[in-house]
Amino acid sequence: MTKLLQISQLGHEVLRKKASFVENINNKEIQDLIDDMINTVKDSNGVWIAAPQVYESIRIFIVASNPSQRYPDAPKMEPTAIINPEIVYYSDEILKDWEWCLSIPWVRAMVPRNKSIEVEYTDRDWNSQKCQFEGFIARIFQHEYDHLEWLVFLDRLDSTKDIITEKEYQKIISK
Span from 18-26, 54-62, 94-102, 156-164 in contact with Zn ion (CB under 5 A): 94-102
> What is the CA angle 83-87-56, rounded to 5?
35
**What does the per-residue mask of binding to Zn ion show for 41-60, with x meaning CB under 5 A?**
--------------------
- Of 31-39, 55-63, 96-104, 118-126, which segment contacts Zn ion by CB under 5 A? 96-104
Q: Residue 4 or residue 130: which is nearer to Zn ion going by CB?
A: 4
H/E element holding 165?
strand 163-165
Instruction: Give me the least distance between CB of 15 and Zn ion, in Å please.
Output: 9
Q: Quick one: 81 exposed, middle or buried, by C-beta within 10 A (0-12, 13-18, 19+)? A: buried
Dist. CA 92–CA 61, nearest whole Å: 25
Q: What does DSSP say about strands 104-114 and 163-165: parallel, antiparallel, or unpaired? A: antiparallel
**Please, what is the minimum distance in Å from the beta carbon of residue 123 to Zn ion?**
21
Q: Tell me whether residue 144 is one of the annotated catalytic residues.
A: yes
Is 34 or 52 the residue whose CB approaches Zn ion more closely?
52
CA distance 117 to 92: 10
Of the pair 27, 104, the CB lying nearest Zn ion is at 104
Cβ density class 145-162: b for 16+ within 10 Å, e for less:
bbbbebbbbbebbeeeeb
**Number of residues in contact with Zn ion under rule CB under 5 A:** 1
Q: Which of 78, 144, 166, 168 is catalytic?
A: 144
Give me the least distance between CB of 54 and Zn ion, in Å please. Answer: 12
Q: Binder to Zn ion among 54, 60, 82, 101 (CB under 5 A)?
A: 101
Q: Which residues bind Zn ion (CB under 5 A)?
A: 101
Q: Which residues are catalytic?
A: 144
